[in-house]
Structure 1
Amino acid sequence: MGTLLGHIVPGTFFTIFAIWWGFSIAIKYYYLYYRKNNTQKSNIYYSTTTFPCLCLFSFQKNPIESYIKICCVIIGMTGEFLTGFTHLYNEKLQRKTWLFSENNMQHITMFFGFSLGSIFEILIHYKYALPDGIEFLANILAFCIEGFLFHFHLHERNEIDIHVHLLLLYAIIFCIIAAIWEYNRPNQILATYARIAGTLLQGFWFYAIGFILYFPSNDPYWIWLPSHEHILLITVIFVWIALMTCIVLFLQSILVWYILKRRYSHYDNEEMIPNSIIHISDNEDSDDNNSQIQFSQRNEQYYNETYA
Structure 2
Amino acid sequence: MSSFKGNALRGTFFLFFGLWWSVKYPLKYLSQKLNADSQASRWIQKLDVLEGAAKAFFALAGMLAEQFVPSSPHASVYSGESHSWEKLANWQYMTMYLFYGLSGIVDVLSHSPLKLSLGLDRLLLSVAMCIEGFLFCFHDYNNAAVDQHLHSLLLIAIFGGALCTLMEVFLRDHTILEFFRTSFFILQGSWFWQIGFVLSPPWGGPGWDQTDRGNLMILTICFFWHYAAALVITTANSIFSRWYKKACQANLGNMDVELDCGFCIRKTSKSSDPVLLSVDGVDEK
User: TM-score, structure 1 length as denominator?
Assistant: 0.71
Letter in 1 for 2:26: A
* Structure 1 unaligned blocks of 5 or more: 37-50, 87-91, 279-308
Match of 1:253 among 232, 235, 238: 238
Alignment correspondent of 2:183: 197
Distance 1:184 1:93 in 2: 51
Please state how far the C-alpha of 1:270 moved relative to its aligned partner. Answer: 7.4
Alignment correspondent of 1:242: 227
Aligned partners of 1:52 and 1:276 also within 8 Å? no
Q: Deviations over 1:72-106 (max 9, x none)?
A: 111111111112138xxxxx958xx9984211111
Letter in 1 for 2:235: F
Please state how far the C-alpha of 1:216 moved relative to its aligned partner. Answer: 2.5
Match of 1:131 among 108, 117, 121: 117
Alignment correspondent of 2:19: 19
Match of 2:161 among 175, 185, 191: 175
Match of 2:254 among 268, 277, 287: 268
Alignment correspondent of 1:215: 201
| Secondary structure, aligned partner of 1:63 | helix
Letter in 2 for 1:65: E
Residues 269/190 of structure 1: CA separation in 2 closer, same or farther (3 Å cut): farther
Distance 1:157 1:53 in 2: 50
Match of 2:73 among 78, 85, 104: 85
Match of 1:206 among 177, 192, 197: 192
Aligned partners of 1:52 and 1:63 also within 8 Å? no
* Structure 2 unaligned blocks of 5 or more: 75-79, 266-285
61-70 or 175-184, larger mean C-alpha shift: 61-70
Letter in 1 for 2:129: F
| Secondary structure, aligned partner of 1:184 | coil
Match of 1:227 among 187, 212, 217: 212
Q: Deviations over 1:185-227 (max 9, x none)?
A: 224200111111111110010000111110124556x633432
Alignment correspondent of 1:4: 4
Please state how far the C-alpha of 1:124 moved relative to its aligned partner. Answer: 2.2
Aligned partners of 2:144 and 2:210 also within 8 Å? no
Match of 1:114 among 76, 95, 100: 100
Alignment correspondent of 1:188: 174
Highest relative contact order (Cα 8 Å, sep 6+), 1 or 2? Answer: 1
Larger Rg: 2
Q: CA RMSD in A?
A: 3.3
User: TM-score, structure 2 length as denominator?
Assistant: 0.76
Matched-pair identity in %: 26
Aligned partners of 1:120 and 1:135 also within 8 Å? yes
Letter in 2 for 1:266: L
Alignment correspondent of 1:65: 51
Please state how far the C-alpha of 1:229 moved relative to its aligned partner. Answer: 1.3
